[in-house]
Amino acid sequence: MNKTIVTFVACSALLFLSGCKKQNKDAALLQNLVEQINAKTDTPLPNGTVLSKCEYVDGDSLFTYYIKVDDTRYDNVDTDSIKSTVGKELKTAGMGKITDILCKNHIGLRYIYNTSTKDIEIVFSPEELSQK
């Protein structure tokens, strides 16, 4: 009977450690992405906005992009409309991998758009990301 308990505990520890290894790999991948993005500050995006920086530290509940908007495109647009548009972009191949990693690790995604008149914050919970 003691052998059964020891075997169970050993198997449980092995499964736990293999799960931790996968999460550590994901955290390292996210941190590497942050470093790559932040190494090239003010990166122009195809839609005319500028990716100014990115933030994520292992253990955070949100992965954050800071985006500068140098025109007035968002001045009279409600946040839900912007969120809907951004949500469609999350389905693209380029965002699919990061979205999967964020979902798997229960991390949300936040965009902060800095305009000349206001800051617009859009947050996707891990549950919302899993539906994309």
Indicate the SS3 state at residue 1.
Answer: coil
Q: Tens digit of pLDDT for each residue in 61-91? A: 999 999 999 998 998 899 999 999 999 888 7
Q: Which residues, 6 or more positions from 90, have their beta carbon under 8 angstroms from its beta carbon? A: 96, 99, 109, 124, 129, 132
Give the H or E element holding residue 53.
Answer: strand 50-55
Q: Tens digit of pLDDT for each residue in 90-102? A: 878 778 889 999 9
Judge whether residue 103 has pLDDT over 60: yes
Question: Is pTM beyond 0.85 here?
Answer: no
